Amino acid sequence: MARRKTADSFRVEETKAADGAAIWVVHGWTLDGRRIRERHRDARMAIARRNEIESLWLERDIRAQVRVTWLSIEQLKEAEAAMTLLPEAGDLMRATQTWLKQGLRHGPIDGPRFDAAVDEYLKWIAGDESQLRPKTVESTTYLVRNFERAADNPRLCDIDAVWVQSVIVKRWENVASRDHVRRIASGFFSWCMMEPRRWIDSNPASGKIIRFRKPPKQEPGVLRLRECARLLVACRRYYKGRFLRSIVLQLFCGMRRRESGRVTNDQINLTDGEIRLRGDQAKTKGRGRTIRLMPVARAWLAICPKHSIDPETSSDQWEIVRRRAKCTRWPRAVLRHTAISHFFRATGSYGETAEWAGNSEPIIKAHYQGRVNSEETRAFWSMFPTRRQRAAARTSRASG
């Protein structure tokens, strides 16, 4: 019959060794009834050993047991999870040695945390090596920082597609915004894969892995003739025409909003009737284009003030102008869509319209043909700034 264990059965006694040093003796019993007497030079280790052998008796009927270890709670959980995946106990050491020899050479275990990698990436895109425009650097920095704030700062080697998708879904609700942020994140992870970093081996934000269902594409919005006329008058009268040139460049030259803000006064050649956009001013960097000015565009640009302001940078004032022009609806890039639709109706050429607008012929065929009729187009290209010019255009149109 096993001896009944009491509180004194497991204890630690302090004594001295032959050399006079203090030692601590642990007294206890094993599960099979053998007596334990162990000597320790460290009092903490002696107490830990006493607790271990006592816990074996207290918890001998359950699987979980107390052990003396220097591992943290997180390390113990990770070790237990790894042991459940391995067929034998000794495989954990062999798997670790294999990883140190083969997996470590790729570098992800030595890679930084997510926030540190983001800091390095933002420094890189702000430098000359990235060759990005200031506006692109600004928008990319904003989105990457928002992505970082929504994340929980894991190690780069632990990031997978499920984690990336969960962060994007948690932070952004709009489907188009989610796909845009995914492309920005994909650029960041591709940068992490490049030499000399090699922090990760694959791109977890690749479009082949993560796909957000895009909403059906809407047809380009086009302003009616009365809306165009009221908008031109409102811009001309408001604050000495501070928005007029930007509106004219978009409405009669088919420029994108940011392209219109990059045009300088010396690029507007009214004598030859053209505007030459450099490669660094166009949307597709490195591919400039020459925009032919229609007579109505030349007439309006001749009276525009030299200094113009982008309406998007003064949203409050721009709302005032729109209310005065009674333009309640304002689809995305509506001025540019209106210009391209009327230009294609006037020329009837896919290639010429694509060259004029900086698009491709398939885009012109898919979005801009049949948006307006011939009578509307003739009236659109006759919206001159003065009555005399408008009357002459009507006379020419009637005689023609």
pLDDT band at 82 (very low <50, low <70, confident <90, very high): confident
Q: What is the DSSP letter of 94?
A: H
Domain 110-193 and domain 225-399 have a common topology: no
pTM (2 decimals)? 0.56
User: In terms of CATH architecture, what is 110-193?
Assistant: Orthogonal Bundle (1.10)
Q: How confident is the model at residue 312 (pLDDT cuts 50, 70, 90)?
A: confident
Check if CATH label 1.10.443 holds for domain 225-399: yes
Domain ranges of the chain: 7-68, 110-193, 225-399
pLDDT in tens, 212-246: 766 666 778 899 999 999 999 999 988 888 889 99
Give the Cα separation of 141 and 189 in Å (integer).
14
Closest CA to 313 of 251, 234, 242: 242
Q: Distance between CA atoms of 254 and 123, rounded to whole angstroms?
A: 35
Choose the weakest-confidence range: 6-10, 24-28, 198-202, 362-366: 6-10
Percentage of the residues of the chain whose pLDDT score is greater than 90: 25
Determine which of 25-29, 103-107, 114-118, 207-211 has the lowest per-residue pLDDT on average: 103-107
DSSP string spanning 117-158? HHHHHHHHHHSTTT---HHHHHHHHHHHHHHHHHS---BGGG
pLDDT number for residue 285: 61
For the segment 280-296, the average pLDDT, to the nearest whole number, is 83
pLDDT at 91: 76
Task: Please compute, for residue 328, the number of CA atoms within 13 A of its CA located in the half-sphere on the CB side.
Answer: 0
* For range 108-131, the mean pLDDT: 84
* pLDDT above 80 (res 104): no
- Residue 107: per-residue pLDDT: 46
If you average pLDDT over residues 90-97, what whole number do you get?
Answer: 76
Q: Which distant-in-sequence residues (6+ apart) come within 8 Å of 338 by Cβ?
A: 222, 223, 228, 251, 380
